[in-house]
Amino acid sequence: MSAASKENALITGAQTDTSLNQSLLGFVWSKPTRGYKQTLLLLSGGVGALLLSLFLLLWQGVGVWGNNHPVGWGFDIINFVWWIGIGHAGTLISAILLLFQQKWRTSINRAAEAMTLFAVVCALMYPTFHTGRPWFDWWMLPYPSTLGVGPQFKSPLLWDVFAIATYGTVSLLFWYVGLIPDLAALRDGSKSKAARLAYGVFALGWRGSGRHWSHWKLGYLLLAGLSTPLVLSVHTIVSFDFAVSHIPGWHSAIFPPYFVAGAVFSGFAMVVSLMIPARKFMKLEHVITLTHLENMNKVILLTGLIVSYGYAMEHFTAWYSGSEYEWTTFFETRTKGPYAPLYWAMWFCNLIVPQVFWVKKWRRSLPVMFTVAILVNIGMWLERFVIIVISLHRDFLPSSWAMYYPTPADLAMFLGSIAFFLTAFMLFCKFLPAVAVAEVKEQNHAEHVKGPA
């Protein structure tokens, strides 16, 4: 094998089915380390803060948040859109790259799919409690109502309910179907009777016969085709929350495509920021190689350029429209107003920082890519802050202007949602294989015959 082939290999070392079983399933079978327990204990404190903030919210109402007039949306919708965006990478990696037969997806798709599910749960939490009386949220569902209360289908907020519910359901099915062969492997290899029973129930009687594999591949491919339009539709519908309004800074036809690009941008950044420590801690360097990470960095660079183009077109449209309100929002309030430092920080994180990935050496540098991934996620959160708060805090009447400041309840809920997300990811890595073992084995056999993909 040439030096270039070794550098671009997707599986390193002389791997066999046995060695891959031991390395990829071994973390599930092994006892949790001291560092794992300490990290989980630390994160549990953040989850406790989340539960406390939710209890306070139910007890006192949404007044514990920093929302005011005219900033009726604050951390609740900012974090909702941010979490939905993070959940996009899993579906794109799993579904679209599968349809395009990209072999480098096989080692990272399982963790990305799990990340999608946890991000959707974190996102749904915000609009659920934003309604103020979440015990009445079932009114938004299209059921036969004797109360005469029906969903308002003209509201883009209700469109979110159906889009995200569909996205979450299909993503869960896609993730679970891909897990079935590996659940059977855990069932057959576990020493504990309870573990064999639990994994056996969810393995659905999988025996690895030719008929099973044929039906599994067909079902997996059909779910991939079903999931692909959701990558484009979900964040497009989320962008309609803003684009169909008449508020300056929101009423823009470019929102749907650039929201989708921003979702993939932040989603891939989150995958990179999670996989770098995970591959080190779980000793997965032989299947999650620098080639996988470099390819994700290329996607981050591409989508970052699309997002930057969206920023430029927003400003061009504001100038070309001739509207004094649009001009003031983009060229005065955002660039020179009280939130201007956050606006320019957004430009730095989302436009300037990803450009380092033009250099191959930095694309393959773990410290560089981890730093860029963290800054991109910060930048995409700032983008949502800029779009929502800066567009709202100065109303059409100067007498209605007001500043928005997050309260401790806002911060506790946000940081707690991050702790919940990381806790769920760590538990997933402990009880389920973080890498698609069956697909990696198939790829390993193909590489031995044809060489690296």
Q: Is residue 3 part of a domain?
A: no
Q: What is the pLDDT of residue 448?
A: 63
Q: What distance in Å separates the CA atoms of residue 182 and residue 17, rounded to the nearest whole number?
A: 13
Does 113 reside within a domain? yes
Within a domain: 148: no
Please say whether the dihedral angle defined by the alpha carbons of residues 114, 115, 121 and 124, taken in this order, is positive or negative: negative
Q: What is the 3-state secondary structure (H, E, C) of the chain?
A: CCHHHHHCCCCCCCCCHHHHHHHHHHHHHCCCCHHHHHHHHHHHHHHHHHHHHHHHHHHHCHHHCCCCCCCCCCHHHHHHHHHHHHCHHHHHHHHHHHHCCCHHHCCCHHHHHHHHHHHHHHHHHHHHHHCCCHHHHHHHCCCCCCCCCCCCCCCHHHHHHHHHHHHHHHHHHHHHHHHHHHHHHHHHHCCCHHHHHHHHHHHCCCCCCHHHHHHHHHHHHHHHHHHHHHHHHHHHHHHHHHHCCCCCCCCCCCHHHHHHHHHHHHHHHHHHHHHHHHHHHCCCCCCCCHHHHHHHHHHHHHHHHHHHHHHHHHHHHHHHHCCHHHHHHHHHHHHHCCCHHHHHHHHHHHHHHHHHHHCHHHHCCHHHHHHHHHHHHHHHHHHHHHHHHHHHCCCCCHHHCCCCCCCHHHHHHHHHHHHHHHHHHHHHHHHCCCCCHHHHHHHHHHHHHHCCC
Give me the sign of the Cα torsion angle 277, 281, 286, 287: negative
Domain membership flag for residue 11: no
Q: Is 145 contained in some domain? A: no
Ramachandran region, residue 409 (left: φ > 0; alpha: ψ -120 to 50; beta: rest):
alpha
In a domain? residue 410: yes
What is the reported pLDDT for 149?
Answer: 66
- How many CB atoms sit inside 10 A of residue 397's CB? 8
Q: Tell me which residues of the chain have a pLDDT lower than 70.
A: 1-8, 143-150, 448-453
pLDDT at 150: 67
With vertex at residue 120, the alpha carbon angle to CA 372 and CA 53, rounded to the nearest 5 degrees, is 90
Look at residue 355 in the predicted model and tell me its pLDDT: 95
**pLDDT for 416:** 95
d(CA 23, CA 7): 21
* CA–CA gap between residue 373 and residue 270 (Å, rounded): 7
**pLDDT the model gives residue 452:** 46
Which domain, by its residues, includes 385? 19-131+153-450
Q: Residues of 264-276 as b/e, b for ≥16 C-beta within 10 angstroms?
A: bbbbbbbbbbbbb
**Tokens representing residue 114 in the block:** 């799990």
Cis peptide before 70 (omega within 30 of 0): yes
* 285: in domain: yes
pLDDT at position 23 is 82
Q: What is the pLDDT of residues 197-238, one digit of tens each?
A: 999 999 998 998 989 999 999 998 898 888 888 888 888 888
Between CA 324 and CA 314 the distance in angstroms is: 14
6 lies in some domain: no
Encoded amino acid at 366, one letter: L
pTM of the model: 0.92
Q: CB–CB of 393/70 below 8 Å? A: yes
Number of domains the chain contains:
1
Give helix 156-189 / helix 437-450 axis angle, nearest 10°.
Answer: 70
